[in-house]
Structure 1
Amino acid sequence: MLTPDYYNKFTCIADKCPITCCKEWKIAVDADTNRRWKKLLPPDTVPECRKNLSAYTTKKDGQRVIGLDAMHRCPFLDEAKLCRLVSTYGDSVLSETCTTFPREYHTFHDHKEGMLMPCCPAVIDLWRYTLLDFPQVSEPDALFLIRTSIMNLIQDTNISIEEALLESFYILSELAKNVPITIAKVTEYFSPASLAELRAAIHDVELPAADTWMERNELLQDLSVNYIEEGLYAPYLNPLITLAEQFTVPDDERLIDFNKQLHTYDILFRNYVANEIFSDLLMPEDTIDDMLLHLEWIALEYASIRQSLFLLCSAEGANHLSYETVRDYIVILSRMTGYEDADIREYLENSFASPIWDWGYFALVVGK
């Protein structure tokens, strides 16, 4: 199995976790686990004791999940933020979701890949200081070569993350117009000479900063509306959306100050985006059009996180962007945008004139 260098360094921090995965989230229960749970009594310390563990599950959005309590917490989570099931029965009682999180696996026709998701604070802690090392497929086809080339751009500290995303989307769009896609063609598009020419052209494009900030603000509010209505992530979203509703286009001084503060976390954000490229840009059976949709979603996630941090940083009296704030909002926005592939496509189809954006709109969301 191919895994990034950080993969085996992960350790759950359990009761030390600032944003537990046992709260405000759908916790899936697979069929095998549910059958076993029908034969197991709940621990004595579980509130509202029921006849068996399966009685604490429910159906939601077509799948069986653990029914959360009135505070949106797993009923098996105790006051010390530890799992009552593990304390009573051991790790083997857990569902597949609880056992694997925050790990994720993709199985391709000739290999399997494992990665960690940014929905866990302990994962973000692994990405803070050093650029990650991602594995490469031993004999890549053209699509895997595209993925590797984009990750290399994201991790190139000589250009900004925004520049890397703009160049990547342009190249993907051009490749999609010129099928079949060959290794030779991909190599040419990502060659130093081609990138230098593209970089110069993008540099000359006028991107009104005010329009970018307004669009990001609208996207952030749109992504948040359902979670606000359900009362989820309230300590994070309620103050954020209040700020978004009061949003005014920032002046140059505010932008400069924010960009300076954000640059402190440049390595962290490069690792975040590169990990999203590794884990989500290319899925089994994907086409180049699928990769375009996934890159749009990654850009939307990144832009929403940036907008969230800008709003918080610009709030009255907020003159320092702490690591904890950056980490926590990466986690929250990642959970909010962690859609299944079909849901991402549906969202893009319902929200935009075309699910595949033109480069101009992509540039408006990403900015410079």
Structure 2
Amino acid sequence: MITIVPDFYDQFSCKAGSCQHTCCQGWEIDIDEPTLYRYEQIKGEIGDKIRQSIIIRDGVFIFQLTDDDRCPLLQDDGLCQIIRTLGPKKLCKVCAMHPRFFVYKSELELAGLGLCCEKTCELLLERDTPLRFCIEGTDETMDFFELLKMTDIAKYLPRDCASQAMSILHATSSLTVSQILRIMELTEPINDSWCQLLAKIRQETTAGKLTLPLPPLETWPHDQQQAYDRICQYILYRMLPRLSRWHFGHLADYAKMNTTFIYLAAAVTGDLPESLRLWSAQIEYDTDNVEIILENMLK
């Protein structure tokens, strides 16, 4: 099987204690059976603490979060006690792999890094060049539409692929701010920050400070155009396995609508990387919320 990765994949390294949005807080962490067995064999104080931190919920072994929603093995300095005491090889599968993802389409494994991780957002946005993808283990690279053409995804594309590229990468959503907010407000909030963001966008819209449609992206400054191009492509890249259920054009509209929302969020916060990260944590990491958006875009 061929594995595809984005051009920044190999540059990832966890920010550990310097991360402002640790993945060890606010997320329930499932423990796979092989790791659970290893934890049962660990001796000493650290072994006792690990076992005391594990509970069963709905038939799944998880770390029981503290009252402030932190993993019990997360230290005050933001570092993992398991890594510091036993080394990274003792992590459970979820912790060891996050924020990496692996999805499948045709004979391809589409791998990447989740945008709920602030380091991933930094890597995606640090270049002002078009996003490229690599065949892992080779020097071969391709742009997004070359990637589509090497798979059976190509059958979902119109004959004029260049026009489709412009439609996806150099346009914002045709929906109004109110329409986008209506859809986003249907999703299940992940935290108060998400609710506050939606309220701020609505407030700015009501005051006449935010309007759509935006000017075509190709008229924007180069660095800003490339940033939103890369965001749009990467959102669509992760959605490609859903082609078995959704039409390619609808997934492209999904990518454009969410890219437009991220633009609106960045406009009111002044922080594009954090707007992208919060959107991903709210939407991409909740499959129900993804489906809510896909279904309500059709209404």
SS at match of 1:216: helix
Larger relative strand fraction: 2
Which structure's CA Rg is the greater one? 1
Distance of 2:238 and 2:180 partners within structure 1 = 24
> How far does residue 24 in structure 1 lie from its aligned partner after superposition?
1.4
| Deviations, residues 311-350 of structure 1 (Å, cap 9, x unaligned) | 43xxxxxxxx2xxx21112111101112465x3575358x
Write the distance in 1 (CA, Å) between the matches of 2:63 and 2:276: 25
| Native 8 Å contact 1:57 1:66 kept in 2 | yes
1:133 lines up with 2:132 in the alignment: yes
Any residues of structure 2 matched to 1:301-320 within 5 Å, and which? 301-312=258-269
- Which residue of structure 2 lines up, in the alignment, with residue 25 of structure 1? 27
Residues in 2 aligned to 1:330 and 1:190: alpha-carbon distance in whole angstroms: 28
Computed over aligned residues only, the root mean square deviation of the Cα atoms, in angstroms, reads 4.1
The Cα of 1:277 is off from its aligned counterpart by 2.0
Q: Does 1:336 align with 2:299?
A: no
Distance 1:135 1:97, change over 3 A: same
Of residues 302-311 and 77-86 in structure 1, the stretch that sits farther from structure 2 once superposed is: 302-311
Give the secondary structure class of the aligned counterpart of 1:134.
Answer: strand
For 1:164, the equivalent position in structure 2 comes to none
> Within the alignment, does 1:237 sit opposite 2:205 as a pair?
no
C-alpha contact 1:297 1:344 (8 A) present in aligned 2 = no
Q: Which residue of 2 aligns with 1:16?
A: 18
* Counterpart contact for 1:77–1:84, Cα < 8 Å: yes
Q: 1:346 to 1:239 in 2, by over 3 A?
A: closer
Confirm whether residue 92 of structure 1 aligns to residue 89 of structure 2.
Answer: yes
Question: Does the Cα contact within 8 Å between 1:301 and 1:337 map onto a contact in 2?
Answer: no
TM-score for the superposition, normalised by structure 2:
0.74
Relative to structure 1, the CA distance from residue 243 to residue 107 in structure 2 (aligned partners, 3 Å threshold; closer, same or farther) is closer
Q: What TM-score does the superposition give when structure 1 sets the normalisation length?
A: 0.62
- Report SS of the residue matched to 2:23: coil
Q: How many aligned residue pairs are there?
A: 280
Cα displacement string for residues 167-186 of structure 1 (whole angstroms, at most 9, x for unaligned residues): xxxxxxxxxxxxxx995784
Q: State whether residues 13 and 122 of structure 1, in contact with CA within 8 Å, keep that contact through their aligned partners in structure 2.
A: yes
Return the alpha-carbon distance in structure 1 between the equivalents of residues 234 and 153 of structure 2: 25
Q: 1:182, 1:118 → 2: CA distance?
A: 23
**Partner-residue secondary structure (3-state), 1:25:** coil
Identical positions, percent: 17
Aligned partner of 1:79 in structure 2 is 76
The answer to whether 1:214 aligns with 2:178 is: yes
In the alignment, structure 2 segments of 5+ residues that lack a partner are 137-143
Q: Answer yes or no: is the 8 Å Cα contact 2:265–2:272 preserved in 1.
A: no
